[in-house]
């Protein structure tokens, strides 16, 4: 291999990469959080809802999980202005990622809803809990505990793979920044080596954050790795 | 006036009528035992009282008030006043013993925390588990879990306690400790409806025994009347079979 790595220019522009990483992190967190709310609603409807609503959720899930995220985001990016909505690139990306994550999370959380022990639900009911209270105090802690690994993995998918789609609609998240910067001085390999490392660090921070959140909110003793 | 009066209560699973007009009553502080062969509808009686299985006919009166199970609000009003413990342990697994006891009083009733916790400690003492206050359910034996479930049911200060074969899933050596806890509740004057296969225990604590078969009450009376001098053939058969073991 004759290529000589020259990282100097990358370090000069490191603050911009950090900005990109920060945007990636925010996008990932908000898309996942929004997706979790959508997914929780979707899973609750699939479990308790009347059939017309269930059909609606099923249609949404099938539509989203069977098309690429990029297509969905392009759809918003090019489609929304046609109906008179002028949203920023970031907003299109965030809405797109949220809707995308919401569909997958509906499926993941649905598995959690199904696996709650009926006896625990009945215990809650006979103690006088409403449906919302059963979900809050029995189903959600159960989900957080039993499918935590699936949730954590999916968060990483959103954070790393989901957000990088933004580069294609001009959002300067980490991948977008790397493309912008390296196309100025052609140090592609150096930039992407550093950016890969930054993604790993991001993922690590995110995993710890999620574990602490689970412990704090749901009293889940989760392992981080 | 009886504390709980059940009159002509009916219930169905689908098209199958499993309670075909059940009537019995219980005075305050009394213990009534429901006995009968498997599938006779004992659990369904308790589930119907708690609003878990819909009642299709008949009336339930508790402390002089009609319980009406026609809306979810009414069902919750009934659940406010009665508590049930099932055969299967069903503690909330993600919570400690203390949290199991205090969740409903704090979050649903919004009672005062200091009082709720003091009462929880008292109840855990009553069932002999003061040292397990911070344990999770998977750190407890079956008998201990059932005693926590008893304490949890009592934490809402029910006017009547329903027990559905609370010792049936336990290893034999753990049955005694749970029965002891129930004896203590009886001594405290708790009104209870008990479904049990422990005939020795029923004879000891029950004021009245109700024998059911195929969704109907066949015979009711004191333990001595039913165990020693049953009037109906079906009761005779049942008790002579079960008491022989
Ligand atoms: N969820 C259900 N769906 C349909 N049928 C049911 C259901 N639960 C109970 N049954 C039927 O209702 C009848 C009464 O059942 P129940 O559980 O009340 O009997 P039981 O007296 O408690 O019996 P066991 O001593 O075995 O607990 C039985 O024929 C049973 O098969
Ligand atoms: Mg039963």
pLDDT in tens, A9-63: 888 889 999 999 999 999 999 999 999 999 999 999 999 999 999 999 999 999 9
The pLDDT assigned to B173 comes to: 79
What mean pLDDT is reported for chain A? 88
pLDDT digits 0-9 by tens, B92-104: 988 899 999 999 9
Name every chain A residue with its beta carbon within 8 A of the beta carbon of B145. Answer: none
B155 or A8, greater pLDDT:
B155
The pLDDT assigned to A225 comes to: 47
pLDDT digits 0-9 by tens, A93-118: 999 999 999 999 999 999 989 988 88
Give the whole-angstrom CA distance, residue A62 versus residue A73.
Answer: 16
Mean pLDDT confidence for B11-40: 93
| Stated pTM of the model | 0.81
The pLDDT assigned to B195 comes to: 95
The pLDDT assigned to B116 comes to: 95
Residue A20 contacts by C-beta under 8 Å, 6 or more apart in sequence? A172, A173, A174, A175, A176, A177, A178
Q: Is residue A224 part of a domain?
A: no
Per-residue confidence at B4, pLDDT binned at 50, 70, 90? very high
Does the beta carbon of B44 sit less than 6 angstroms from any atom of ligand 1? yes
Q: Is residue A225 part of a domain?
A: no
- Contact: A120, B93; criterion CB under 8 Å: yes
Per-residue confidence at B148, pLDDT binned at 50, 70, 90? very high
CATH number at residue A128: 1.10.3720.10
- Contact: B108, A218; criterion CB under 8 Å: no
B87 or A149, greater pLDDT:
B87
B242 or A109, greater pLDDT:
A109
What mean pLDDT is reported for chain B? 90
Given a cut of 90, is residue A168 above it in pLDDT? no
- Contact: B107, A218; criterion CB under 8 Å: no
Q: How many domains does chain A have?
A: 1
Per-residue confidence at B172, pLDDT binned at 50, 70, 90? confident
The pLDDT assigned to B244 comes to: 64
On whether the CB atoms of residues B28 and B81 are closer than 8 A, the answer is no
Please state whether beta strands B192-195 and B160-164 pair in parallel, antiparallel, or not at all (unpaired): parallel
Three-state SS at A223: coil
Q: Is residue A132 part of a domain?
A: yes
Give the whole-angstrom CA distance, residue B204 versus residue A85.
Answer: 77
Given a cut of 80, is residue B245 above it in pLDDT? no
The pLDDT assigned to A213 comes to: 77
- A interface residues, B as partner, C-beta within 8 Å: 117, 119-120, 122-130, 133, 137-138, 141-142, 144-145, 218-220
A224 or B74, greater pLDDT:
B74
Q: Is residue A92 part of a domain?
A: yes
Mean pLDDT confidence for B120-128: 91
Q: Within a 13 Å sphere around the CA of A147, how many CA atoms are in the beta-carbon half?
A: 20
Mutate to test the pocket of ligand 1, among B14, B19, B33, B40 (most ligand atoms within 8 A of CB): B40
Say what percent of chain A tops pLDDT 90: 46
Give the whole-angstrom CA distance, residue B75 versus residue A126.
Answer: 9
Residue among A221, A187, A189, A202 nearest A156 (CA): A202
The pLDDT assigned to B110 comes to: 92
Q: Within a 13 Å sphere around the CA of A155, how many CA atoms are in the beta-carbon half?
A: 24
- The conformational region for residue B64 under phi > 0 = left, psi -120 to 50 = alpha, else beta, is left
Given a cut of 80, is residue A209 above it in pLDDT? yes
Please state whether beta strands B31-35 and B192-195 pair in parallel, antiparallel, or not at all (unpaired): parallel
Q: Is residue A68 part of a domain?
A: yes
> Residues of A118-148 as b/e, b for ≥16 C-beta within 10 angstroms?
eebbbbbbbbbbeeebbbebbbbbbbbbbbb
- Contact: A127, B152; criterion CB under 8 Å: yes
| Residue-number span of the structural domain to which A129 is assigned | 8-218
Residue B143 contacts by C-beta under 8 Å, 6 or more apart in sequence? B170, B171, B174, B175, B177, B178
Q: Is residue A223 part of a domain?
A: no
At B195, which helix (H) or strand (E)? strand B192-195
Tell me which of A125, A128, A136 to substitute to probe the interface with B (most B C-beta atoms closer than 10 Å). A128
The pLDDT assigned to A221 comes to: 61
Mean pLDDT confidence for B136-155: 91
Q: How far, in Å, from the CA of B232 to the mean position of ligand 2?
A: 22
Q: Is residue A86 part of a domain?
A: yes
Q: Is residue A203 part of a domain?
A: yes
The pLDDT assigned to A1 comes to: 65
Given a cut of 70, is residue A222 above it in pLDDT? no
């Amino acid at each position: 291999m004759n290529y000589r790595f020259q990282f100097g220019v990358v370090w000069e522009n490191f603050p911009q990469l950090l900005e990109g990483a920060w945007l990636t992190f925010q996008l990932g967190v908000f898309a996942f959080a929004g997706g979790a709310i959508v997914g929780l609603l979707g899973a609750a409807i699939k479990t308790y809802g009347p059939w017309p609503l269930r059909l609606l959720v099923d249609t949404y899930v099938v539509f989203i999980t069977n098309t690429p995220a990029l297509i969905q985001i392009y759809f918003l990016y090019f489609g929304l202005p046609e109906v008179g909505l002028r949203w920023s690139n970031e907003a299109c990306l965030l809405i797109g990622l949220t809707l995308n994550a919401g569909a997958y999370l509906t499926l993941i959380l649905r598995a959690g809803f199904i696996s709650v022990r009926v006896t625990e639900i009945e215990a809650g009911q006979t103690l006088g809990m409403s449906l919302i209270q059963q979900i809050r105090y029995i189903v959600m802690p159960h989900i957080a505990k039993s499918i935590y690994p699936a949730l954590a993995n999916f968060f990483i998918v959103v954070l790393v793979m989901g957000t990088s789609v933004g580069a294609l609609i001009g959002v300067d998240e980490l991948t977008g920044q790397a493309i912008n910067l390296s196309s100025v001085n052609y140090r592609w390999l150096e930039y992407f080596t550093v950016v890969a490392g930054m993604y790993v660090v991001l993922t690590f921070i995110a995993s710890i954050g999620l574990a602490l959140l689970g412990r704090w909110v749901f009293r889940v003793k989760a392992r981080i790795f | 006036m009886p504390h709980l009066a059940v009159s002509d209560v009916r219930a169905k699973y689908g098209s199958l009528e499993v309670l075909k007009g059940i009537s019995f009553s219980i005075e305050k502080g009394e213990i009534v035992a429901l006995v009968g062969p498997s599938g006779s509808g004992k659990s369904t009686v308790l589930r119907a009282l708690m609003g878990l299985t819909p009642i299709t006919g008949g009336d339930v009166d508790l402390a002089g008030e009609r319980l009406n199970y026609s809306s979810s609000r009414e069902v919750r009003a009934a659940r406010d006043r009665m508590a049930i413990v099932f055969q299967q342990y069903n503690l909330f697994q993600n919570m400690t013993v203390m949290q199991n006891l205090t969740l409903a009083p704090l979050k649903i009733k919004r009672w005062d925390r200091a009082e709720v916790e003091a009462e929880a400690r008292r109840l855990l003492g009553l069932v002999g588990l003061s040292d397990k206050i911070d344990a999770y359910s998977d750190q407890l034996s079956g008998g201990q879990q059932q005693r926590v479930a008893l304490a949890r049911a009592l934490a809402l200060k029910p006017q009547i306690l329903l027990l559905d074969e609370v010792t049936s899933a336990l290893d034999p050596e753990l049955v005694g400790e749970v029965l002891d806890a129930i004896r203590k509740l009886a001594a405290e004057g708790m009104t209870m409806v008990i479904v049990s296969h422990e005939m020795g225990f029923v004879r000891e604590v029950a004021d009245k025994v109700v024998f059911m078969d195929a969704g109907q009450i066949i015979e009711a009376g004191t333990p001595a009347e039913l165990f020693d001098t049953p009037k109906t053939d079906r009761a005779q058969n049942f008790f002579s079979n079960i008491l022989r073991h």
